[in-house]
Structure formats: C-alpha cells, structure tokens
C-alpha cells in the first residue's frame, strides 16, 4: 500500500531554482537519459508498454502502444522522418497541471522528450505550448538552451550518434488545439481544426509523417519510468491505471493546489488533504477532470479517480482537474458559463458543435435570466443528443457533458429557475444567483 501522496513528477518542485539544469541534475536528472541511450529503442517502447503508462491528456490511451504504432524500417512509411509533438496546449477548464510542471520542472519534460524521440526514432520535436503561458514558455525554452549547451540536444547526443532538435512553439489562443490533429494543423501554420482520422498521426501526422502526440505529464513521466522500471511504476495506482498522477484541486476548498497521488484516489481523500471545503460551506458539484467530464456530486466522494472508476460512475477521469463548487453556486449558471466557453472555442468545422453550442448558449442564458420553460430542458437534452457522438471531434461531446450531467443531478435547479421567473428576470441579479458577488 502506497502513501496517500506519492510525489514523483512534483518531487523536486520545492528545490531552489528547481527549473534550472543544475537543480535538475542535482536531483539525478538526465541519468535516465544516459541509461536509455544504452538500450535499443524498441526496448524503451517495450518498457513503457510494460509500465502501463496511459496518456495524461485526458483520453488515457496506452502510451507505449501509441509509440509502437510508429512505422519503422528503411522502406515505406518507416522511411519518412518521424516527429514527437508535445501537447502543452493546456486549456480544458479546471486543468492546471502542465503549466506548473513546465514552470517548476521543465527539464523533466525535456529529458522525457529526448528519451521518447530516441525510442520512436524522431530527430525533431515540437513542444506546442499555449500562447498565454508565457512564463512556462520561457522556462521550457531556457531548459532547451541549457540542454543544448550540455550536449543533451543537438548532434550526437552524449556520443550516442542520436540527433535531436526541439522547438518550443507558442500557440495563439484556441482551446481546440488541444485536440491532437487540430494541434498538428496549427503547428503546420493553419487554422486549428481537427483532421479526418484515419489517417492517424502515427502514420500521417505532422507534415504527413509518422508522429507521436503526447501530453506534457505523459512525457515527463518517461524519465521516471526509465529510472524506476515498470514494476516500480506499477507499484502505484491500479492495475489498469498505474502510476502517480497530478490532481489539480481548485475552487471552493481551503487549500487549492497540485496534489500528486496514485491513480485511484478519491475526492474525499483529496478534500481532506486540501483542508476541506472553504469556510465549511458544503460541496454541491465537482468535475473529476475538467469541464468536459460529466459533473459529480457529493454522492461521488468515494469514486476512485482512475480511468475505470470515473467511467463506471458515469464520468471520465479526463485531466484530473478537480473543480469543486459549493452550495452558493447555481448549477444552471455554471453550465451556462461552460457552454459559453464551448461556443467560443468551437472551431466551427462541423455543424453539431458549431450550431449546437450557439443554440444551447441562448437557451441557457434565457433560462438563467428567468425566461425558460420546462420544455427548454427537454430541448437542451435533445440538442445534446444530436451533438454527442455526431460532432467531428470530442469538443462537441465535451460541450454536452456539463448540461446533461447537470440536468441529471440538478434538474430541480433548472425547474426552480422557471418557477422563480419573476424574481430573477433582471440580468443584474445574475451575480446574486451565481454567488459571484459574495
């Protein structure tokens, strides 16, 4: 049985100038790289497969398997250049784990990139950081510069004969670029709209070449797996969801922040560590992994927060962005705000997401302003049904999660709005309703 918190990725964050090469090396950094370079690339892929590491960007796809899809060999698609693209476009509401990682420990990401590129035989890696994350961009660029200076990047890395260049690429403000194919289009200098799949990035990604796209936290986990081995990694978490995971707790708790725990921890445990609900006001609803994961309530305090546990309880693990809301917050209002977000961030490519979010926002705004009808609730559920699984990518699906889950657990709040029509008909009362002015 492991401890409740198992700092691995976050372990060195307390160090003085933790982001510097000196601090990183002091803590044993880049030793995993030296070890990895002694292995055959396929052995590293096998190791990561054995470790059971699953993507930390939300979907939880097995990382080693993703790497093994990259065609290798002298002919055909294997002969093309291969690329690693790191998805650091953190923007899912509630999600705030990659930015602190890049801020506090950029070298773990860089070391992970080098090992990953060595494994998949890529000589070019792009780290796509959302543009609004300027300081993390500085930290990562600085780390890249230090790594070049130390011979961890560039030609013939540590005498291995392996070459790698890393470019830190700033995005420009588009949530959709967190979707891996939209990110690739964006990195190619285009509108960040998702691509048709197939072909998948593993065969036709960046510049139509084989490409691995992985999240920051996934790649930062790689040096630790090399250093500790798959058994060590699997000693944390569960059989299907092994390893440690950064849980980001925000909202109405006493001590919001980053808590790295084995996968499978519960909100009850996390809340306890975060000092409980702020000012003792009871919990009303929460997201297990960002706003695209269906809401949970106080009923779900003991749901194990791993890929299987969250799914079994009707939500998703997502990015382990635990947003906690207390009883002062109106659920329809929160849902309206999230839906406004999805409308703003819908890329516009497909009809259901583009038009559906446009419509849903108007219904929700009308309801929150006290002008809704009971029929609106059914209409919203039906619109969600026409978006979920019908849109081009997962953004549309995610947009329906807050609405359908909110109506599932808090239908009465929507009905109350209708009943309370005379009292909340004035827009300026929105603030009262939301608790924003508290």
Partner 1 sequence: MTLAPDEQKAPVPEGHVRLTIDGREVIAPKGEILIRTCERLGIIVPRFCDHPLLDPAGACRQCLVEVELGGRPMPKPQASCTMTVADGMVVRTQHTSPVAAKAQAGVMELLLINHPLDCPICDKGGECPLQNQAMTTGRADSRFLEKKRTFPKPLAISTQVLLDRERCVLCQRCTRFSEEIAGDPFIDLLERGAQQQIGTAADKPFQSYFSGNTIQICPVGALTSAAYRFRSRPFDLKSTPGVAEFDSSGSAIRVDTRRGVVMRRLAGNDPEVNEEWLDDRSRFAFRYLTSAGRITRPMVRREDGELHETSWTDALAVAAKGLLAAKEAAGIGVLAGGRLTVEDAYAYAKFARVAAGTNDVDFRARPHSAEELDFLAAHVVGTTPDHLSFTKLEAAPTVLCVALEPEEEAPIVYLRLRKAARKRGQRVYHLGQWTTPAVERTSQSLGSAAPAAKDNLIPAVPGAEAAVLRDLPADVVAALSEPGAVILVGERAAEVSGLYSAVSVVAASTGATIGWIPRRAGERGALDAGAAPNLLPGGRLVTDAAARAEIEKAWGLPAGSIPATVGRDTDEILAAAAIGDLSALVVGGLDPNDLADPAAALDGLREVGFLVSLEMHTSAVTELADVVLPVAPDAQRAGSYLNWEGRLRSWEPALDPSGVLPDCRVLDTLAVEMDADLFTQTPAAAAGELARLGTVERKAAPPTVEAGVPSVPGFGQAVLATWRQLLDASSMSVDEPALAGTARPALLRVNAATAERLGLTEGAPATVRTERGSITLPVELADLPDGVVWLPGNAENSRVRATLGAGHGDLVGVSA
Partner 2 sequence: MTAPEGSSPFDEVTRQRTKEIIARYPQPRSALLPLLHLVQSVEGHVSQEGIRYCAEALDLTTAEVSAVATFYTMYKRTPCGEHLVSVCTNTLCAALGGDAIFERIAEKLGEDGKPLGHEETAGEPGTPGSITIERAECLAACDFAPVIQVNYEYFDNQTVESAEQLVDALRRGEKPAPTRGAPLTDFRTAELELAGFHPDLAASVEGPSAAPETLRGVELAAERGWAAPALPDEMPAFPALPEKS
**Binding positions for partner 1, rule: CB under 8 A:** 80, 174, 191, 196, 207-209, 343-352, 354-359, 362-363, 366, 379, 382-383, 385-386, 389-392
Q: Buried (b) or exposed (e) across 147-175, using 16+ Cβ within 10 A?
A: beeeebbeeebeeeebebebebbbbeebb
**107 or 130, CB closer to partner 1?**
130
- Does position 407 bind partner 2 by CB under 8 A? no
- Does position 189 bind partner 2 by CB under 8 A? yes
**97 or 343, CB closer to partner 1?**
343
List 25, 228, 281, 386, residue binding partner 2 (CB under 8 A):
228
Report phi then psi at 41, rounded to 5: -50, -40
List 110, 227, 265, 393, residue binding partner 2 (CB under 8 A):
227
Task: For the CB of residue 225, give the shortest distance to partner 1 in the complex, in Å.
Answer: 31
Q: Among the candidate windows 153-161, 364-372, 410-418, 429-437, which touches partner 2 by CB under 8 A?
A: 429-437
**54 or 224, CB closer to partner 2?**
224
**75 or 375, CB closer to partner 2?**
75
- Does position 285 bind partner 2 by CB under 8 A? no
Nearest to 147 by CA among 180, 119, 179, 115: 115
Q: Respond yes or no on whether the N-terminal peptide bond of residue 401 is cis (omega within 30° of 0).
A: no
To which residue do tokens 């790295």 refer?
260
Q: Buried (b) or exposed (e) across 203-227, using 16+ Cβ within 10 A?
A: bbbbeebbbbbbbbbbbbbbbbbbb
Q: Rounded CA gap, 345 and 333, in Å?
A: 18
**142 or 411, CB closer to partner 2?**
142
**236 or 403, CB closer to partner 1?**
403
List 111, 179, 217, 260, residue binding partner 2 (CB under 8 A):
260
**15 or 386, CB closer to partner 2?**
15
Task: For the CB of residue 18, give the shortest distance to partner 1 in the complex, in Å.
Answer: 37
Binding residues among 357-376 for partner 2 as defined by CB under 8 A = none
Q: Are 216 and 87 in contact (CB under 8 A)?
A: yes
Task: For the CB of residue 375, give the shortest distance to partner 2 in the complex, in Å.
Answer: 25
Q: Respond yes or no on whether the N-terminal peptide bond of residue 198 is cis (omega within 30° of 0).
A: yes
Task: For the CB of residue 347, give the shortest distance to partner 2 in the complex, in Å.
Answer: 8
Q: Rounded CA gap, 102 and 424, in Å?
A: 44
Task: For the CB of residue 173, give the shortest distance to partner 1 in the complex, in Å.
Answer: 10
Per partner kind, with CB cut-offs from 5 to 8 A, the member of partner 2, partner 1, none near residue 18 is partner 2
Per partner kind, with CB cut-offs from 5 to 8 A, the member of partner 2, partner 1, none near residue 343 is partner 1
What is the size of the binding site for partner 2 (CB under 8 A)?
Answer: 112
Q: Rounded CA gap, 78 and 82, in Å?
A: 8
List 57, 60, 112, 251, residue binding partner 2 (CB under 8 A):
251
List 59, 65, 170, 301, residue binding partner 2 (CB under 8 A):
170
**170 or 313, CB closer to partner 2?**
170
Per partner kind, with CB cut-offs from 5 to 8 A, the member of partner 1, partner 2, none near residue 119 is none
Long-range contacts of residues 409-417, Cβ cutoff 8 Å, at least 24 apart: 409/285, 409/295, 409/297, 409/331, 410/285, 410/331, 410/332, 411/377, 413/330, 413/331, 413/332, 414/331, 414/332, 414/367, 414/372, 414/376, 414/377, 415/374, 415/377, 417/332, 417/367, 417/368, 417/370, 417/372
């Amino acid at each position: 049985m492991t401890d409740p918190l198992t700092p691995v990725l976050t372990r060195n964050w307390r160090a003085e100038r933790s982001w510097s090469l000196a601090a990183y090396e002091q803590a044993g950094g880049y030793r995993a790289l030296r070890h990895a370079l002694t292995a055959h690339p396929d052995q590293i892929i096998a190791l990561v497969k054995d470790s059971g590491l699953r993507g930390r960007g939300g979907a939880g796809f097995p990382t080693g398997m993703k790497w093994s899809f990259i065609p290798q060999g002298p002919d055909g698609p294997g002969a093309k250049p291969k690329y690693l693209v790191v998805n650091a476009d953190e923007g899912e509401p509630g999600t705030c784990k990659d930015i602190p990682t890049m801020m506090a420990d950029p070298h773990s990401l860089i070391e992970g990139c080098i090992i990953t590129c060595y494994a998949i035989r890529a000589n070019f890696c792009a780290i796509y950081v959302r543009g609004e994350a300027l300081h993390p961009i500085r930290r990562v660029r600085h780390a890249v510069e230090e790594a070049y200076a130390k011979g961890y990047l560039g030609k013939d890395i540590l005498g291995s004969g392996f070459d790698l260049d890393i470019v830190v690429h700033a995005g420009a403000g588009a949530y959709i670029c967190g979707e891996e194919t939209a990110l690739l289009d964006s990195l190619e200098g285009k509108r960040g709209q998702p691509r048709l799949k197939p072909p998948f990035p593993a065969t036709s990604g960046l510049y139509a070449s084989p490409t691995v796209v992985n999240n920051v936290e996934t790649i930062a986990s790689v040096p630790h797996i090399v250093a500790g081995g798959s058994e060590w990694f699997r000693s944390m978490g569960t059989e299907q969801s092994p390893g440690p995971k950064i849980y980001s707790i925000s909202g109405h708790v006493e001590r919001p922040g980053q808590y790295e725990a084995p996968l499978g921890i519960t909100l009850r445990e996390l809340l306890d560590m975060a000092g409980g609900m702020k000012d003792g006001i009871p919990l009303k609803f929460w997201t297990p992994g960002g706003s695209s994961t269906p809401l949970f309530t106080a009923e779900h305090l003991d749901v194990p927060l791993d890929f299987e546990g969250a799914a079994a309880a009707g939500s998703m693990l997502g990015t382990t962005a635990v947003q906690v809301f207390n009883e002062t917050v109106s659920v329809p209002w929160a849902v309206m705000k999230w839906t406004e977000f999805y409308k703003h961030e819908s890329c516009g490519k497909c009809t259901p997401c583009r038009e559906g979010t446009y419509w849903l926002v108007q219904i929700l705004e009308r309801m929150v302003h006290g002008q809704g009808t009971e029929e609106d609730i059914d209409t919203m559920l039906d619109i969600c049904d026409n978006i979920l699984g019908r849109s081009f990518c997962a953004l549309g699906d995610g947009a329906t999660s807050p609405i359908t889950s909110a109506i599932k657990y808090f239908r009465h709040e929507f009905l109350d709005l209708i009943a309370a029509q005379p009292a909340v008909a004035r827009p300026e009362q929105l603030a009262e309703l939301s608790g924003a002015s508290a």
